[in-house]
Copies of this chain bind each other. A is one copy, B any other.
């Protein structure tokens, strides 16, 4: 699997950052992951930079947004495993995403109906990517 993950802003929470890194390490035998970390400013400027990154992108673009559809982990796994191309995942900054980015998405995905911090979303997403691969491989995974 190929993943490209576009994030806005550095993680300030060192503990969550460490957890994200742990999942990257766990994912490494199964997936090649490219991380693009864009500087945070405001949703409009961030949107321009994200769209630049997506301009010639042939991958399947999944944008995290509270307005998106929800999936179970099993559905998310099936979606990722069924792709014949790179999965490009976009997580905005603390102040949300420009509409243009949401419109560019092949899939607008909500992790929850609840609002939580974008750093938690980053951690949550990496855990779901790992979970998706474990589900796809039929492996047990509880922790």
- Tell me whether A56 is interfacial, beta carbon within 8 Å: no
- Rank and list the top 7 A-B pairs by shortest CB-CB distance, nearest first: A15-B15, A112-B112, A70-B113, A73-B115, A73-B114, A94-B142, A72-B113
* Chain A residues with a Cβ closer than 8 Å to the other chain, count: 27
Copies of this chain, whole number: 2
A124 touching B115 in the complex, CB below 8 Å, given contacts A94-B143, A142-B95:
no
Q: Which residues of B contact A19 (CB under 8 A)?
A: 15-16
Q: Which residues of B contact A73 (CB under 8 A)?
A: 114-116
Q: Which residues of B contact A15 (CB under 8 A)?
A: 15-16, 18-19
Closest to A125 in B: B114
CA distance A123 to B119 in the complex (A): 13
Nearest-neighbour CB distance to chain B for A128, whole angstroms, equals: 6
Per-residue 0/1 for A106-143: is the Cβ within 8 Å of any B Cβ (1 yes, 0 no)? 00000111111101100110011001000000000011
Q: Which residues of B contact A117 (CB under 8 A)?
A: 127, 142-143
A71 touching B114 in the complex, CB below 8 Å, given contacts A120-B124, A124-B120:
yes
